[in-house]
Amino acid sequence: MLVRFGTPNAWSRCPSRFRSYLYCSSLSASSELPHRRHGHSHSHDDDDDVFLPWLRRKSGLDISSLLSIKNSSYGRSLFASTAIRAGDCILQVPFSVQLTPDMVLPEIDCLLGDDIGNVTRLALVILVEQRLGQESEWAPYIRSLPRPGESHSTIFWSEEELEMVQQSSIYKETYNQLTQIEKEFVAIRPVLDCFPQYFDGISLSIFMHAYALVGSRAWGSPKGLSLVPFADFLNHDGVSEAVLLSNEGKQISEVIADRDYIDGEQVLIRYGKFPNSTLLLDFGFTLPYNVHDQIHICIDVPKHDSLFTMKVDLLHQYYMPIIQGTNSSDPSQNSFIIKEVRSARGKGKGIPQSLRAVARVLCASSAQELKDLVAKAEKSDGRLARCPMKNTKREIQAHHFLNLQILQLIQKYETSIKLLGCTTNYSNTEHFALRRQMAWDLLSGELRVLKSASAWLSNYCNALSMGNYHPTKAAVTQ
């Protein structure tokens, strides 16, 4: 699902942002506490009596004899209605009863430009079916979708609420997403005006809700995106091995149980290996402990550096990564993703080698030293400064520099987390309390990642200082 805003309109262009199918030969596939999108709080008891019989009639299949719809603390969920064994097929939903972007009415589709992406197209499908009401052939499914005000995605947070996560990259990503949604709405506004029977009174906020429904519930599929009725009631468990599979031969989506379930137990699948920043922005929930948490870190070439131009040119020449989603036009800034380092004494897996390479470049004190790094790269695999430096003092200096950047971030995160406990705005509402808890989950997870990286860097520098680590030997394994 997730691609970290590699392009300004990543949501409308990239199915990998969404809950994904996995693919394998003929059967293609489209800790942590189980969670899902928060919300969905209104009662569906009457609708539940209609929904599954409707879906069975429409599809011509049983859909599932092993699952039943019940309410959980997270709203509508799927539970085992009998004992389930690992390897059982627990549901099958034909492609014919899935909503896809190509279902936009022809008279509307012909007016949409090629730049209108799948998310917007599928959002328009939802809006049309909502307007049709009981006359819609999809009415039971449309009624099952969350209502406005029930999503906790950060795109629906107030400015005061977003201040709680300002330290995280999700803060800018949220505003980027809001800008993108508004651009999409402006682009389709003339088309909407041509069909008042479907879109009269459709405001930006209404469109945003439909857009977010697609973003939080759609699965990447052979048709770009698909809303899969019944399957989208399944909650998320980040360590589950069960996913939604796409069998193109049989033209069905299905789920295979990855473990045994007893009668009455909630059945879970994995949406993807997503950090809390993705879960919160795209789905509106967080995990108390998320093993997939990660953090963005930006490293700048100091403007006062006498070798500023040379260093910036080298970093660009050797394709040091710049994540476009940072919206940074500063050519001296490089952005990286750090994941949790599992062992403070291991090889530092989780800290990108390219980040350590940038630190080595930034700590160079002469033009000759930079030329030596270039010469070494050309003699090896062509990657600049990827190997540990032979000069142990310089290697320590580079990693001390990197650790200092991380320690400064740790202080900022600790301050932000402390401020959460002092927040008083809306503090008496359950709504705000839930979002504050999500902010805490997000920030504490990213802080954990930072501390793991700092611990490894400290141990690495200490080992070099004591002569217990040999950079030239380590280069072979890196």
**Number of domains the chain is built from:** 2
Residue 3 lies in a domain: no
Same-domain check for residues 142 and 226:
yes
Query: Where does a domain end: 283, 304, 326?
Result: 283
Residue 289 lies in a domain: no
Same-domain check for residues 191 and 304:
no
Same-domain check for residues 331 and 367:
yes
Instruction: Mark residue 25 as left, alpha or beta (left: phi above 0; alpha: psi -120 to 50; beta: remaining).
Output: left
Residue 125 lies in a domain: yes
Instruction: With beta carbons less than 8 A apart as the criterion, state whether 62 and 56 touch.
Output: yes
Here the CATH number for the domain that contains residue 308 is 3.90.1420.10
* 226 phi, psi to nearest 5 deg: -145, 135
Same-domain check for residues 252 and 324:
no
Say if residue 267's pLDDT is above 80: yes
Lowest mean pLDDT among 31-35, 164-168, 208-212, 358-362: 31-35
Q: Give pLDDT, residue 23.
A: 42
Same-domain check for residues 342 and 409:
yes
pLDDT tens digits for range 70-90: 988 777 899 999 999 999 999
Question: Distance between CA atoms of 436 and 417, rounded to whole angstroms?
Answer: 10
Query: Where does a domain end: 283, 310, 333?
Result: 283
Here the CATH number for the domain that contains residue 256 is 3.90.1410.10
Query: Where does a domain end: 283, 317, 333?
Result: 283
pLDDT tens digits for range 155-207: 999 999 999 999 999 999 999 999 999 999 999 999 999 999 999 999 999 99
Residue 357 lies in a domain: yes
Model confidence at 44, in pLDDT bands (50, 70, 90)?
Answer: low
Residue 288 lies in a domain: no
Say if residue 110's pLDDT is above 90: yes
Model confidence at 380, in pLDDT bands (50, 70, 90)?
Answer: confident
The DSSP output letter for 389 is: P
Residue 270 lies in a domain: yes
Same-domain check for residues 103 and 27:
yes
Same-domain check for residues 187 and 213:
yes
Task: Identify which has the larger pLDDT, 424 or 59.
Answer: 59
Instruction: With beta carbons less than 8 A apart as the criterion, state whether 358 and 300 touch.
Output: no
Same-domain check for residues 344 and 410:
yes
Same-domain check for residues 374 and 434:
yes
Say if residue 17's pLDDT is above 90: no
Q: Which domain holds residue 331?
A: 294-477
Q: How many CB atoms lie within 10 A of CB 118?
A: 24
Residue 86 lies in a domain: yes
Residue 4 lies in a domain: no
Q: Give pLDDT, residue 406.
A: 97
Question: Distance between CA atoms of 396 and 224, rounded to whole angstroms?
Answer: 48
* 5 phi, psi to nearest 5 deg: 45, 50
